[in-house]
Structure 1
Amino acid sequence: MTHRKKCRIWWPDKLARVEPSSDLLLFGWYMTCGSSVDAVVATAVPMLKISACFPRCEDLKEMLHFANGKMPLQLQETSAFAILGQCVADPYADSELVDQNKNLLSGSKFKQQQCIGPAQNFSLKDKNLDSMDGQCHEKSCAGAASDYNHRRWKCGCKALEGLIEHHTNSSIRSGNWIQLLYRSKRMLGEESKVIPELHHIHLNGDTIAACDAHVLIYDQPSYGRNHLSLSSWGFSLQVRSPSKKPNWINDLQKKPFLDLDSVILALNCSNAASVLLDHRIGIVNPVIHFFCKPILVVFIEMVWHFVAVIVASISSITYLFLQFFYNYLSRRSQTFFFVLEKMFQNTWKNVHIRSCQILYWPIFLQDTSFSSQSNIEYAHKAALQKHFNWSSVGVDVMLGIVFGVLLLINADAIWLKILAVVHYMTDNALRSGCVWLMGVPAGFKLNTELAELLGMISLNAVQIFSTLWSFMSTSLRYIIEGLALSGIVFGLTVPAALCIDLLKLATLHVTTLHWLISFLYSQQLQALASLWRLFRGRKWNPLRERLDSYDYTVEQHVVGSLFFTPFLLLLPTTSVFYIFFTILRTMITFVCILIEIMISVLHAVPYAEILLWFTRRSRFPSGIWFESISVPSMYSHADYGQSDEGSETLLSLLHSNYATIGQVIGPHYSKTFHGVASSFGKSLAYGFLSGQRIPSTLHTNLPPSLPWIRIGFREYWTLCRSSMLSGRL
């Protein structure tokens, strides 16, 4: 039993809104998959206009070749941009079409010797394309217009005079061609649309009249407005397939019914193909077109050139300053440069990121080739990436300016507040805490000698810090002004990173004391664990990472007993000091992590995408769905000479689901915090209890650090100017 052919016609909504006054020539892509055929219509042009604009067949062939070359390679490998067929505007004006419909119903397929004539599918994959050059010759369009409505082939296709007539036989015998009919307008909801109906198709040399036709009306994707996508926005779902697939999955893979990925790609490229075709057809006299250009457009272009020169000059001056400071630091001593980078690690990283973002902006805005922009989905994602870069820098700089101005206005108050906080932490927290630990803290009896030793070391370190702070306090105002200026120049993330580095430098004495006490604490724990294994007759095997049995001597047991007792009795004293300094270090680390999270959030927030989501949600598609339309026809099939055994036409509207605000911003945050270990809390707890290293950062993923750009001043100025001109609207 042979299955009926399924023909899906993807029809642009803009063609369904206007009722044509003449017959149209359809341009688009053919895609066959099993027993189904997909005809993606990109645009439709009146036949007489094609004959007038392309007097020679070489011109039309060159235009199709040019348009197909601008398409993505994936689409070129799947299908070629070609002439799909014709659409008859008024079938009632010609009574011969009714007779042709009746002839077609005598059999679903018949040999093409009955058809002598029209319809060339200008597919670049047609093996007979090269042999057509010898058949091409120029003809007058007047002759074509004179008997255009008087000739018709037996299959129902109108005979086309001029350049298309010479390629008809090859297309019908071995190519693809589709014949559509226009009916009167139908009301779909509140709008009236003109819906085409399938008359017959030529598929690989066979004429098929009885097939299941499905017309799908889609809103043609265009740059800056909308596009279509099958996957969820921003998420690449990877489903782990089972080891053994069910039989029905294997059957679907063997007999694919619909290659929807290729169809969606063609739909996203349909507007680019339509623009290319309209552009080639519209260029009749470029000189007249230039002089007829509106004066306002010329004035805007002149102003835009002037703005491009100004922006390029300012960017080039900034480029010179950044290059000067970078080369100055690079020429310094390598040891000094290394120490400076380690001391201000967070600041250096954020300054480098911001400098590269400032220097690379003309490269980000460089206009790409039309082949990459022809796919609206790719063009939209590339545009969002550009918008993400400039919006992130712009918002960060504006916040930095506000932060810097407020800091400069309140510099005296902030200076006094910092002095008071440092004095309080030094006297009330550190000195009083160390003295409290040297006595009887919370009623615990500690080892007096060890407590006094650790307390005196801590007090001396605090006194050294107080002495240094008395000298540095006079320079604190200049540090505050430096923070404000860094925020005004580089944005809020740079002074925030500088605060982390300054906080670590200001609490270096606490970090050093915590490292010393934690080293003693961890060594005591390891010694007690080793001695406990000695008493049990076990020994840790570091090669196999396991506990093995071991026979210790009597002398080893005696020495172990002598060491075990003092280590165990001194552990409470060391533990009290360790807990005290660990709490202080954890508070400092917690503040640094909060600032780090704020920096990561500022880098990751997609400000432009959030604004676009509120204004134009169609830029964020998340899957598609079809709305089936059941509209009673005003005319029966008998009006066209068709019976119920002919084509069954379905009608659907293609719609897109839109991503939520969480789906839009979620991938950015997941990418930023992807490097954060899921066991961060476990590592923190283990380090706190065992005296090992406590993690002091989340290791978030900041924007990638680009290599430092090194080109000439004039070349950079030219690059900035060309980027501004290529990015004009």
Structure 2
Amino acid sequence: MEVCYHRHSKRSRRFYSDDGPADSPVVDYLASYPSATLNQAILRLAQLAALLRGNQPYNVFFNTLWLILNDISLGLAFSSFLSENDINALLANRLEPCLIHTIHRLLNWLDSWPAGLKLNTELSRFYAHSLALLSHTFTHLVRLLVDHFQLTLTIASIVSHFGASFALAFFIDVVSLLTAHITISYALSRIVYRRTILAVRSLFNLFRGKRYNVLRHRTDNWEYDMDQLLLGTIVFTLLAFLAPTIFAYYALFAALRVAILLLFASLEILIAFLNHFPLFALVLRIKDPARIPGSMYFEVSTDDPQKPSLELKSQPLPLSVIFSQYIRLASFLATHYNPLRLLYQLFIGEYLAAMTCPSSLIQ
């Protein structure tokens, strides 16, 4: 028989609060620094500073220490892998064909009426030549990296000595640099597509005899002159002929942008697990659950039926609470990368940003 009396200890509040985890480093890991390597370095310095202060609970202290040691061990193994294998010969000659030539082939494919879709010839040629020139400009950067790819691998091997999380962060920065032309092409095509969508919406209001009121943020009835309706018809005709071409090039680079964001999200989740996985708490939960109490309860002792007594016992922290920050992370990811949300953003031409959190990195 148990008496329903529960009380969270101060130690348990380190893992949990009424509205979720008291400290959510997994979700808050994604800070707003432009460099993932710099972001990881700041986090590691914060972890080391917290260890040197020694004012943390023992479970948080040893969990951070274990994570740092495991991260360094994995980083040393990855550094050894880079040193013992000829990665340069495997990847160096594939960067330019993958990053530059593939883009050129896709642009030429769109410019040659793909699948019988007849695009506007002049606009399609302008798109293809302009974006191909932009990607060709980055060819010098890719060739510079190819010529010094062994140096890049050496830097990655040195960075890996600080931990596998540093190696992943360095890889994110390198990929961001190599795909900058794709990001710029996506941004330019998105702006044109977004303006087209807004123009079509305005023309739709024009033909319905309505106008958007910017002061009241609503759509009001409005009377248009014949000249305005005629001009709107001409503009709508132009947009109707140009919209398929604009959408085709926008869809191409939007798909590439989604693929890059999914790659970054996967790597950032791995880094978050390396930095914040509750390893020590999980080991204690399995080995000695009493050392991580989550609540207390009274149990009626039946050893002596003549003298019943209440025995105060500790209830260990449940696994759902230990991994509650990862439940929040999964919820955040499901919301940010919801397919319906992404499709809606793609349709209306909103910019697909990387996953970020409003909270700061260092608590």
Q: TM-score range by the shorter chain?
A: 0.7 to 0.9
The alpha carbon displacement at 1:582 in A equals: 1.1
The alignment partner of 1:581 has SS state of helix
Contact 1:672 1:702 in 2 (8 A): no
1:436 aligned onto 2:74: no
The residue number in structure 2 matching 1:231 is: 8
Are the aligned partners of 1:344 and 1:498 in contact in 2 as well (CA < 8 Å)?
Answer: no
**For residue 678 of structure 1, what is the aligned residue in structure 2?**
335
Q: 2-side partners of 1:700 and 1:523: how far apart? A: 29
Residue of structure 2 in register with 1:598 after alignment: 270
Whether the 8 Å contact between 2:345 and 2:352 is mirrored in structure 1 is yes
User: Amino acid of the residue matched to residue 400 of structure 1?
Assistant: G
Q: Distance in 2 between matches of 1:500 and 1:609?
A: 30
Mapped contact 2:46–2:362 kept (Cα < 8 A)? no
Task: Flag the 1:480–1:229 CA change in 2: closer, same or farther, 3 A.
Answer: farther
Shift of the 444–671 alpha-carbon distance from structure 1 to 2, 3 Å rule, reads closer
357 and 426 in structure 1: CA distance in 2 versus 1, 3 angstrom threshold: closer
How big is the shift at 1:539? 0.7
| 1:471 maps to 2:248 | no
Q: Which residue, out of 657, 662, 666, partners 2:315?
A: 657
> 1: distance between equivalents of 2:83 and 2:266?
24
Counterpart contact for 2:37–2:173, Cα < 8 Å: yes
Between stretches 596-605 and 425-434, larger displacement belongs to 425-434
The TM-score, its normalising length taken from structure 2, stands at 0.85
Aligned residue in 2 for 1:405: 80
Q: Which amino acid in the other structure matches residue 602 of structure 1?
A: L
**8 Å contact 2:95–2:146 — kept in the other structure?**
no
The verdict on how the C-alpha distance between 1:616 and 1:343 changes in structure 2, with shifts beyond 3 A counting, is: closer
- The 8 Å contact of residues 487 and 494 in structure 1, kept in 2 or not, is answered as yes
**Corresponding residue number in structure 2 for 1:356:** 46
- 1:667 corresponds in structure 2 to 324
Alpha-carbon offset, residue 462 of structure 1: 2.5
Offset, 1:703 = 5.1
- Asked if the contact 1:541/1:548 (under 8 Å) is kept, the reply is yes
Aligned partner of 1:280 in structure 2 is: none
Instruction: Mark the CA change 1:598 to 1:617 in structure 2 (over 3 Å): closer, same or farther.
Output: same
2:238 paired residue number:
566
Deviation at 1:595, TM superposition (A): 0.6
**What's the C-alpha RMSD, in Å, of the aligned pairs?**
2.7
What corresponds to 2:279 in structure 1? Answer: 607
| 1:508 paired residue among 171, 180, 186 | 180
Offset of residue 560 of structure 1: 0.9
Question: Which residue number corresponds to residue 213 of structure 2?
Answer: 541
Unaligned runs of 5+ in 1: 1-227, 239-341, 367-380, 634-648, 706-729
**Alpha-carbon offset, residue 503 of structure 1:** 0.7
Counterpart for residue 28 of structure 2:
none
% same residue: 23
Amino acid of the structure 2 residue aligned with 1:502: V
Equivalents in 2 of 1:704, 1:424: separation in Å? Answer: 41
- 1:385 counterpart letter in structure 2: V
Aligned-partner Cα distance in 1 for 2:92–2:112: 29
Measured after TM superposition, the shift of residue 385 of structure 1 is 1.9
Instruction: Give the Cα–Cα distance (whole angstroms) in 1 for the partners of residues 305 and 272 of structure 2.
Output: 58
C-alpha distance in structure 2 between counterparts of 1:475 and 1:448, whole Å: 40
**CA shift for structure 1 position 674:** 7.5
Whichever residue aligns with residue 52 of structure 2, its letter is P
Residue 388 of structure 1 and its aligned partner are, at CA, apart by 2.4
1:459: which partner in 2? 132
The separation in 2 between residues aligned to 1:420 and 1:343, in whole angstroms, is 31
- Do the aligned partners of residues 611 and 492 (structure 1) sit closer, same or farther apart at CA in structure 2, a change above 3 Å counting? same
In the TM superposition, residue 686 of structure 1 has moved relative to its aligned partner by: 2.4
**1:391–1:606 Cα contact (<8 Å) kept:** no
How many residue pairs get aligned? The number is 341
Rate the CA distance shift 1:527–1:703 in 2: closer, same or farther, 3 A: closer
Residue number in structure 1 paired with 2:22: none
SS in 1 for 2:57: helix
SS at 1:678 equivalent: helix
Change (3 A) 1:622 1:552: same
Q: Secondary structure at the match of 1:693?
A: coil
State whether structure 2 residue 270 is matched by structure 1 residue 580: no
Distance 2:170 2:6 in 1: 43
Shift of 1:597: 1.0
- The change in CA–CA distance for 1:427 and 1:393 in structure 2 (over 3 A counts) is closer
Residue 388 (structure 1) aligned to one of 55, 58, 63? 63
Partner Cα separation in structure 1 for residue 206 and residue 358 of structure 2: 43
CA–CA separation in structure 1 for the residues paired with 2:320 and 2:34: 35
Contact 2:93 2:146 in 1 (8 A): no
Q: 1:432 to 1:684 in 2, by over 3 A?
A: same
**Which residue does the alignment assign to 1:631?**
304
SS of structure 1 residue aligned to 2:335 = coil
Q: Which amino acid aligns with 2:354?
A: S
Secondary structure of the residue aligned to 2:138 is helix
In structure 2, distance between residues paired with 1:630 and 1:347: 60
Residue 588 of structure 1 and its aligned partner are, at CA, apart by 1.1
SS, match of residue 308 in structure 2: strand
How far apart, CA to CA, are the structure 1 residues paired with 2:150 and 2:269? 27
For the structure 1 residues 408 and 421, does the alpha-carbon distance in structure 2 shift closer, same or farther, using more than 3 Å as the test?
same
Provide the residue aligned with 1:450 in structure 2. Answer: 123
Structure of higher RCO (CA pairs closer than 8 Å, 6+ residues apart) = 2
CA distance in 2, matches of 1:601, 1:700: 20
Identify the structure with the greater helix proportion.
Answer: 2
Give 1:1-400 correspondences, 5 Å limit.
230-231=7-8, 234-237=15-18, 344-363=34-53, 365=54, 382-400=57-75
The answer as to 2:363 corresponding to 1:691 is no
Rounded to whole Å, the distance in 1 between the matches of 2:107 and 2:300 is 75
Q: TM-score, normalised by structure 1?
A: 0.44
For residues 235-278 of structure 1, the C-alpha deviation after alignment (integer angstroms, 9 at most, x for no partner) is: 4447xxxxxxxxxxxxxxxxxxxxxxxxxxxxxxxxxxxxxxxx
Point out where structure 2 has 5 or more consecutive residues left out of the alignment: 20-31
Q: Is 2:336–2:355's contact at 8 Å kept on the other side of the alignment? A: no
What is the Cα deviation at residue 521 of structure 1? Answer: 0.9
Which structure shows the bigger proportion of residues in strand conformation?
Answer: 1
Relative distance call for 1:692 and 1:603 in structure 2 (3 A) is same
Contact 1:676-1:698 within 8 A present in 2 as well:
no
TM superposition shift of 1:420: 4.0
Question: Residues 416, 701 of structure 1: CA spacing in aligned structure 2 closer, same or farther, 3 A cutoff?
Answer: farther
Q: SS at the partner of 1:627?
A: strand
The separation in 2 between residues aligned to 1:608 and 1:670, in whole angstroms, is 18
Counterpart of 1:418 in structure 2 is 91
> Would the alpha carbon gap of residues 659 and 476 (structure 1) be closer, same or farther in structure 2, given more than 3 Å must change?
same
Shift of 1:415: 1.9
Q: Show CA shifts across 1:360-410 (max 9, x none).
A: 4221x25xxxxxxxxxxxxxx821121222222222222222222212222
Of residues 508, 514, 519, the one that matches 2:191 is 519
What code does the residue aligned with 1:431 have?
Answer: H
Cα 1:631–1:359 shift into 2, 3 Å: closer
- The one-letter code of the counterpart of 1:435 is N
| Secondary structure of 2:8 counterpart | coil
Partner residue of 1:529? 201
Following TM superposition, by how much is the alpha carbon of 1:700 offset from its aligned partner in structure 2, in angstroms? 8.6
